Amino acid sequence: MTFFKYLRDHLYSILIVLIGMTFVELVLFLDPRVHFHIGTLVYTWILAMIFLVANLAISYNHKKAWFKQLEDYQEDLSKELFGARNNEQKFIQTKINNISMEYRNELTELYQNQKDQREYTESWVHDIKVPLAALKLSQDDDLDPALIAEELDQIDYLVDQALYFARLNNFSNDYLIQEQDLNDIVKACIRTNKRLFISKRIGVSFDLTDKKILTDEKWLSFIINQILANSLKYTDQGGKISLFTTTTDNNIELHIKDNGIGIANQDISRIFNKGFTGNNGRKSGSKSTGMGLYLTKKMVDKLGHTITVTSHPGVGTETIITFLDLPYYK
């Protein structure tokens, strides 16, 4: 900010002072009771101009450091602006800092989303190679059709997971909250996983309420499929999975309970972390990506539900999805 630009910004103030000074001197000059020499009037007018310019110069010099700081600030937006001396500067400083904070937060979120997308893509490509390799081997060997079907299911599972991961950031454009029949959704999820139920001879029982719930059918189906997939993965042959509902304070709770190997106490608080597989994922040799429960938690939060997991090693795991009662939605 140069001094001439500063003067131009205060042009209206200068004109108002000049017009006011000229008006006062004109009144004094025309008043017959006041005898002013015209030279005196011109001298006082010039003197007023000198004081005006001096005042603007002092004001500019006082703000010069602030202008320099503003120019330097745009080169490094990672720091907060400081050094305001008066209320006007403090107001501008607060607004700039707020805007910069929002910018930094959005930039951080963008970088994190890009990082998550890159890491997930790399993991997904690595994971999908396993079933694809098995299918290639099936061209040369006479593999059991059931094993081929299992690998196809795994590919389908990974493709669905990638699709929902890609949609997660644009969730608001891809969901519709309305009353849904929980029985129908759960039965459809069981049919989706029926091949694993049969191959591992895992029994299933369900006792669900007839009351409607407020949710999105497609996203909730993905959530339940993820939980069922984990239960099936970590439940031994001949195990059992139970699905039932309870009601607490008009909130409907869906319980998905298995008698599998359970989750270690040190892992239970981290199961929703991105990429976390825990001891079970490392020891079982299963195709665990650590993304299923991460996506599940994200989707549950976006749908306005809650999810809790309790588990005891060697006893089993119970997952509870709570559908909150929303009277204003009805």
Whole-angstrom Cα Rg for the chain: 36
DSSP H stretches of helix in 31-86 = 38-73
CA 296, 302, 306, 308 torsion: positive or negative? Answer: positive
DSSP H stretches of helix in 170-237 = 182-192, 194-199, 217-233
- Burial (CB count within 10 angstroms: exposed 0-12, middle 13-18, buried 19+), residue 43: exposed
pTM of this prediction? Answer: 0.62
Helix 87-140 and helix 145-167: axis angle, to 10°? 170
The pLDDT tens digits along the chain (330 residues) read 677 777 777 777 888 888 887 888 777 777 777 676 777 778 888 888 888 888 888 777 777 776 777 777 666 666 777 777 777 778 888 888 888 888 888 888 888 777 777 766 766 676 777 677 766 666 666 666 666 776 677 777 777 777 777 767 666 666 788 889 999 999 999 998 888 898 889 999 989 998 899 999 989 999 999 999 889 989 989 999 999 999 988 899 999 999 999 998 888 888 888 777 766 655 555 556 667 888 899 889 988 899 999 999 989 999 999 998 866 555
Contact in structure between 305 and 321 (CB atoms under 8 Å) = yes
What is the rounded distance in angstroms from the CA atom of residue 264 to the CA atom of residue 92? Answer: 53
Alpha-carbon 75 to chain mean position: 27
pLDDT at 162 (0 to 100):
75
Q: Residue 174, SS3? A: coil
DSSP annotation string for 101-170: HHHHHHHHHHHHHHHHHHHHHHHHHHHHHHHHHHHHHHHHS---HHHHHHHHHHHHHHHHHHHHHHHGGG
- Burial (CB count within 10 angstroms: exposed 0-12, middle 13-18, buried 19+), residue 106: exposed
What is the rounded distance in angstroms from the CA atom of residue 283 to the CA atom of residue 279? Answer: 6
CA 248, 295, 132, 174 torsion: positive or negative? Answer: positive
For the chain, the first-to-last Cα distance in angstroms comes to 59
Domains and CATH numbers, the chain: 3-75 (no CATH), 175-330 (3.30.565.10)
Contact in structure between 264 and 279 (CB atoms under 8 Å) = yes
pLDDT at 141 (0 to 100):
61
Contact in structure between 54 and 14 (CB atoms under 8 Å) = no
Residue with tokens 């008006």: 23
Alpha-carbon 330 to chain mean position: 28
In this predicted model, what pLDDT tens digit does every residue of 286-314 receive, in sequence order? 556 667 888 899 889 988 899 999 999 98
What 8-state DSSP symbol labels residue 324?
Answer: -
pLDDT at 126 (0 to 100):
67
In this predicted model, what pLDDT tens digit does every residue of 23-42 receive, in sequence order? 887 777 777 776 767 777 78
Q: Residue 289, SS3? A: coil
